Amino acid sequence: MSQIKSPSRRAFLKASAAAGGGLVIGVTLPQAFAAAPATTSMPNAWVKIGSDNTVTILSARSEMGQGVYTAMPTLVAEELEVDLHKIKVEIAPAGEVYINALLGGQLTGGSTSVADGYDKLRVAGAQARMMLVSAAAQKWGVDESKCTARNGSVTGPKGAHATYGQLAEAASKLPVPKDPKLKDAKNFRYVGKPVKRLDTAAKVNGTAEFGIDVKLPGMLYASLAQCPVIGGKVVSFDAARAKAMPGVKHVVQITDGVAVVADSWWQARTARDSIDIKWDEGPAKAMSSETVAAGLKAAAAKPGAVFKKQGDVDGAMKGAAKTLEASYEMPFLSHSPMEPMNFTADVKKDSCLLYGPTQFQQMAEGVAAQMLGMKPAQITVKTTFLGGGFGRRIDVDFVAQAIEISKAVGAPVKLVWTREDDMTHDFYRPTSLHQISGGLDAAGKPVAMKFHLTSSSVTARLFPPFVKDGLDPFMLEAAAVPYDIPNQLADSLIYETGLRVGYWRSVSHALNAFANESFIDEMALAAGKDPYEFRRAMLDQKPRLKNVLELAAAKAGWGKPLPPGRFRGIGVMEGYGTSMAQVAEISVSGGKVRVHRVVVAADLGRMVNPNIVRQQIESSVNFGLSAALYGEITLKDGRIEQTNFDKYPVVRMPESPTVEAHLVESTEKPGGIGEPATALISPVVANAVFAATGKRLRKLPLRLA
Amino acid sequence: MISFTVNGKKVQADVAPDTPLLWVVRDTLGMTGTKFGCGAQLCGACTVHVNGMPVRSCGTKVSDVEGKKVSTIEAVGKTPAGRAIQAAWVQHDVPQCGYCQSGQIMSAVALLESKPHPTDAEIDKAMDGNICRCGTYQRIRAAIHTAAATKTKGA
pLDDT tens per residue across span A161-175: 999 999 999 999 999
pLDDT tens per residue across span A689-701: 999 999 999 999 9
How confident is the model over A451-480, as a mean pLDDT?
A: 97
pLDDT of the residue at B151:
74
Domain end call among B40, B74, B108: B74
Closest CA to A687 of A607, A621, A627, A628: A628
Is residue A44 within 8 A of residue A583, CB to CB? The reply is: no
Contacts of B19 in chain A (CB under 8 A): 266
B50 touches chain A (CB under 8 A): no
Contacts of B26 in chain A (CB under 8 A): 265
Q: Which B positions 51-70 lie with beta carbon below 8 A of chain A? A: none
Please tell me whether residues B102 and B125 are part of one structural domain.
yes
In this structure, of A109-123, A339-353, A577-591, the range with the lowest mean pLDDT score is A109-123
Please tell me whether residues B68 and B98 are part of one structural domain.
no
Closest-CA distance of chain A to residue B49, Å: 15
Contacts of A619 in chain B (CB under 8 A): 96, 134-136
CA distance A144 to A160: 13
Please tell me whether residues B84 and B44 are part of one structural domain.
no
Please tell me whether residues B150 and B83 are part of one structural domain.
yes
Dihedral of the alpha carbons of A402, A404, A408, A413, in degrees to the nearest 10: 10
How confident is the model over A647-663, as a mean pLDDT?
A: 98
B37 touches chain A (CB under 8 A): yes
Number of domains chain B contains: 2
Please tell me whether residues B68 and B110 are part of one structural domain.
no
Taking the model in full, what pTM does it have? 0.94
How confident is the model over A381-386, as a mean pLDDT?
A: 98
Please tell me whether residues B85 and B144 are part of one structural domain.
yes
How confident is the model over A203-230, as a mean pLDDT?
A: 98
Backbone φ/ψ region at A67: left (φ over 0), alpha (ψ -120 to 50), beta: left
How confident is the model over B124-135, as a mean pLDDT?
A: 98
CATH number at residue B60: 3.10.20.30
CB pairs under 8 A between A and B: 176
CA distance A69 to A63: 6
Instruction: Give alpha helix (H) positions in A54-199.
Output: 68-80, 113-140, 164-171
Contact B30 A215 (CB under 8 A): yes
pLDDT above 60 for A10: no
pLDDT above 80 for B119: yes
- Mutation test of the interface with chain A: which of B18, B78, B90, B97, choosing the one with the most A Cβ atoms within 10 A? B97
pLDDT above 80 for A682: yes
A213: confidence class by pLDDT, cuts 50, 70, 90: very high
Taking only Cα atoms into account, the Rg of chain B, rounded to an integer number of angstroms, comes to 15
DSSP letter assigned to residue A96: G
Q: Kindly identify which residue of chain B lies nearest to residue A654, measuring between CA atoms.
A: B124
More confident residue, A14 or A295: A295
A40: confidence class by pLDDT, cuts 50, 70, 90: confident
DSSP letter assigned to residue B27: I
Please tell me whether residues B52 and B101 are part of one structural domain.
no
How confident is the model over B141-147, as a mean pLDDT?
A: 98
Closest-CA distance of chain A to residue B146, Å: 16
pLDDT above 70 for A56: yes
Domain end call among B74, B91, B107: B74
Is residue A577 within 8 A of residue A605, CB to CB? The reply is: yes
* Residue ranges making up the domain that contains B35: 2-74
Is residue A328 within 8 A of residue A510, CB to CB? The reply is: no
pLDDT above 60 for A515: yes
Is residue A225 within 8 A of residue A239, CB to CB? The reply is: no
A43: confidence class by pLDDT, cuts 50, 70, 90: confident
Give me the helix-helix angle, A68-80 and A113-140, nearest 10°.
Answer: 30
In this structure, of A47-51, A200-204, A560-564, B123-127, the range with the lowest mean pLDDT score is A47-51
B122: confidence class by pLDDT, cuts 50, 70, 90: very high
Closest-CA distance of chain A to residue B114, Å: 19
CA atoms lying within 13 Å on the CB side of residue A433: 20
Percentage with pLDDT > 90 across chain A: 92
Please tell me whether residues B29 and B93 are part of one structural domain.
no
pLDDT above 50 for A22: no
Q: Kindly identify which residue of chain A lies nearest to residue B92, measuring between CA atoms.
A: A196
3-state class (DSSP) for residue A3: coil
Is residue A69 within 8 A of residue A59, CB to CB? The reply is: yes
pLDDT above 60 for A15: no
CA distance A507 to A505: 5
A530: confidence class by pLDDT, cuts 50, 70, 90: very high
Q: Which A positions 70-99 lie with beta carbon below 8 A of chain B? A: none
pLDDT above 60 for A435: yes
A221 touches chain B (CB under 8 A): yes
Taking only Cα atoms into account, the Rg of chain A, rounded to an integer number of angstroms, comes to 27
Per DSSP, what are the bridge partners of residue A680? none
CA atoms lying within 13 Å on the CB side of residue A261: 26
More confident residue, A189 or A10: A189
Go through the domains of chain A in sequence order and give each one's CATH number: 17-204 (3.30.365.10), 211-282+341-416 (3.30.365.10), 289-332+428-693 (3.30.365.10)
How many other CB atoms sit within 10 Å of the CB of residue A53?
A: 15
Closest-CA distance of chain B to residue A626, Å: 9
Contact B99 A338 (CB under 8 A): yes
How many other CB atoms sit within 10 Å of the CB of residue A14?
A: 12
A362: confidence class by pLDDT, cuts 50, 70, 90: very high
pLDDT of the residue at A139:
97
Contacts of A389 in chain B (CB under 8 A): 97
Closest-CA distance of chain A to residue B67, Å: 22
Domain end call among B74, B97, B129: B74
Instruction: Tally helices (H) and strands (E) across chain B.
Output: 5, 5
B152: confidence class by pLDDT, cuts 50, 70, 90: low
Please tell me whether residues B46 and B25 are part of one structural domain.
yes
Contacts of A217 in chain B (CB under 8 A): none
Please tell me whether residues B66 and B18 are part of one structural domain.
yes
CA distance A299 to A292: 10
In this structure, of A50-59, A207-216, A391-400, A572-581, the range with the lowest mean pLDDT score is A50-59
More confident residue, A215 or A23: A215
Q: What value does the mean pLDDT of chain A take? A: 93
Closest CA to A602 of A679, A529, A694: A679
B49 touches chain A (CB under 8 A): no
Q: Which B positions 88-147 lie with beta carbon below 8 A of chain A? A: 89-90, 93-102, 105, 123-125, 127-141
Q: Which A positions 656-675 lie with beta carbon below 8 A of chain B? A: 656-659
Contacts of A221 in chain B (CB under 8 A): 27
Please tell me whether residues B55 and B92 are part of one structural domain.
no
Please tell me whether residues B89 and B118 are part of one structural domain.
yes
How confident is the model over A499-525, as a mean pLDDT?
A: 98
Contact B134 A659 (CB under 8 A): no
Percentage with pLDDT > 90 across chain B: 97
pLDDT of the residue at A223:
98
A132: confidence class by pLDDT, cuts 50, 70, 90: very high
CATH number at residue B134: 1.10.150.120
A60 touches chain B (CB under 8 A): no
Closest-CA distance of chain B to residue A375, Å: 32
Percentage with pLDDT > 70 across chain B: 97
**At A446, which helix (H) or strand (E)?**
strand A446-455
Contact A623 B135 (CB under 8 A): yes
